[in-house]
A and B are shown apart, each in its own frame.
Chain A
């Protein structure tokens, strides 16, 4: 059994971040894209916590705390926007949300 080093956690973080990025690029449902963004934030949080453990430093955990707060605010506003868009367009397919186009 190899020892679990910081690199394993950083690799897991990178894989989760990539899956989130693929979700943002590949899916057309605004809600799924939003969830993928949350997954990317979580992957970054995992890297923060792993490095905080690796370096014996509490500051990384404090950063995670702030990331979570900003994510909560972002989700509240973003979901309100999605509901507003759904009320006007009856769709949350981002390919149909193009009325801002010139």
Chain B
């Protein structure tokens, strides 16, 4: 699973980038920080023997989805909208308390009982093996996904055209 030094450097970069995304005042900077986090996660996927998922992560997440985000931010001019920083002081305090509680609960859930016995051998996870598994075991979810994407596309078109008629 990679050397510890590589993991530590990448983990610090990923967490720092994520914190920058949440704290940044400028929405454009937030989007760029999030792209950084996603790119580092793609490196983790390569380390974890998931080359195809890493490629899709870069192409779909860091590419398509974040370009859409940046496009909307620039379309709205939202990067300079004032007064939309953080909430009031008690909201921040409550959010921090809930965040710490969530982290503690996740830690307990993940580490209680120790790790299960794994299968450390490296499996074939290339695009060919991935596609075979996808179309052997997951044909129905795959087709449902295509309908979901169609519905999303029609939904977006309806949202935009209705406004245009007014």
Instruction: Spell out A's residues near B (CB within 8 Å).
Output: 1-12, 14-23, 25-29, 31-32, 34-36, 38-39, 42, 45-46, 49-50, 52-59, 61-62, 64-66, 68-77, 79-84, 86-87, 91-93, 95
B-to-A contact residues, CB < 8 Å: 1-5, 7, 11, 14-15, 18-19, 21-22, 27, 30-31, 34, 37-38, 41, 44-45, 48-50, 52-53, 56-57, 60-61, 64-65, 68-69, 72-73, 75-76, 78, 81, 83-87, 91-92, 94-96, 98-99, 102-103, 106-107, 110-111, 115-116, 118-123, 125, 129-130, 133-134, 137-138, 141, 145, 148-149, 151-153, 155-156, 159-160, 163
Shortest distance between the CB of A34 and any CB in chain B (Å) = 8
Report chain B residues within 8 Å CB of A61. 50, 52-53, 125, 130
In the bound assembly, the distance between CA atoms of A7 and B106 in angstroms comes to 12
Q: Tell me which residues across on chain B come within 8 A of A8, comparing CB atoms.
A: 7, 11
Determine chain A's interface SS by DSSP, over half rule.
helix
B129 adjacent to A58 (CB under 8 Å): yes
Contacts of B123 in A (CB 8 A): 56-58
